[in-house]
Amino acid sequence: MGSEAAKSDNYAEYWACSPALESRGKVLVTNPPEPEMQLDFTIEAKDYIKTGRASSEIKLFLKKLGVNPDVLRRVAVACYEAEINVTAHSNGGTVQALIYQDYILAIFEDKGPGIEDIEQAMIPGFSTADELAREMGFGAGLGLPNIKKNSDLLYIKSAVGINTYLAVIILFEDKQDV
Amino acid sequence: MKFKEIAKLLEAEVFSTDEQMEREISCAFGSDLISDILMCTKEPTLLLTGLTNPQVIRLADMIDILGIVFVRGKKPTQELIEMANERDLPMISTAFTLYKSSGILYNNGLRSCKI
């Protein structure tokens, strides 16, 4: 998977994209077409009891549509890690699951405080999780790497002091080795 | 190996029905980190863990967990037992450590899950 990071004065961006999406990936994220179906959820900050519900429901919904089990697992893992990130690190946010014929685009938007250094956050084992999160079994520093590993496209845009926007695309065709 | 045999080997307390304990288990994974568990499990597996918060059960919504062994004497709360029942997820609790439990099961032929 190719990846690139960019930084402007106000925000930082991170792109990682599988070869299958190289040509159309950016357009699908920056200017998403009208989805066939859409699910919306809010994610509360520090609510370690409820977090994961949105990801469960997204997975269940796709399961009913007949999406294959390996793809379901990748969607569930990527969404769950992103949902936990919003719970553990932000002031709360939302997830929109946009479902198309051959892929899902899940967009996680929070209310800040943004990611200080995205490149650093992508390093397996790096974590800023607090004691509470660690007690719950989170904070392994594998959240973003796990999302990248299980998705066909990962886009992060974050402005320190403002917010973070994270989008993942997972194609519904079976991918043997992730 | 049946889940009830695992319970016997680990001298465990059982929180599930006899029928659930008949479940066949072919491999296992052990960790106290949610992300590790998510990253490493690619086939239906038994989970050994010291975590007893609701997110452990939530994991079973994401990946195929056949059953849970709580180690180091950790016991599930009533809330957890109810969540597990809703998902038909059998659970046992052993006083043994994660290391000792894993060693016993491995020596008795329960292989590691594919990672």
Residue B65 near residue B42, CB atoms below 8 Å = no
The chain-wide mean pLDDT, for chain A, equals: 92
Cβ contact (<8 Å) for B51 and A56? no
Are A73 and B35 within 8 A, CB to CB?
no
DSSP structural state of residue B89: -
Give the pLDDT confidence score for residue A174 in this predicted structure: 59
Percent of chain A surpassing pLDDT 90: 84
pLDDT tens per residue across span B77-92: 999 999 999 999 999 9
- Helix, strand, coil shares of chain A, percent, nearest 5, are 35, 30, 40
Instruction: Calculate what percentage of chain A has a pLDDT beyond 70.
Output: 97
Under 8 Å between Cβ of B113 and B29: yes
Closest residue in B to A48 (Cα) is B55
How many C-beta neighbours within 10 Å does residue B1 have? 18
Cβ neighbors of B64 (< 8 A, separation 6 or more) are A73, B41, B43, B44, B45
Q: How far is B14 from chain A (nearest CA, A)?
A: 23
Compute the CA torsion angle A132, A133, A138, A144 (nearest 10 deg): -160
Per-residue pLDDT at A123 exceeds 50: yes
**Distance to chain B for A60, nearest Cα, Å:** 9
Q: Which residues of B touch A (CB under 8 A)?
A: 32-36, 38-39, 42, 49, 51, 53-56, 58, 61-64
Half-sphere exposure of B30 (CA within 13 A, CB side): 19
Residue A97 has pLDDT above 90, yes or no: yes
User: What is the per-residue pLDDT for A173?
Assistant: 83
A52 contacts B35? CB cut-off 8 A: no
pLDDT per residue over A127-145, tens digit each? 999 998 998 999 899 999 9
Burial class (CB in 10 A: 0-12, 13-18, 19+), B81: middle
Nearest to A142 among B32, B36, B61 (CB): B36
- Tell me, what's the pLDDT at A178? 41
The whole model's pTM is what? 0.90
Grade residue A176 by pLDDT with cuts at 50, 70 and 90: very low
Nearest CA in chain A to B35: A142
- Provide mean pLDDT across the span B46-53: 96
| Averaged confidence pLDDT in chain B | 95
CB B113 within 8 Å of CB B105: no
The predicted pLDDT at position A10 comes to 85
Rounded Cα distance, B1 and B34, in Å? 25
Does the distance separating the beta carbons of B35 and A81 come in below 8 Å? yes
Neighbours of A165 (CB within 10 A): 19
Chain segment B11-36, per-residue pLDDT in tens: 999 999 999 999 999 999 999 999 99
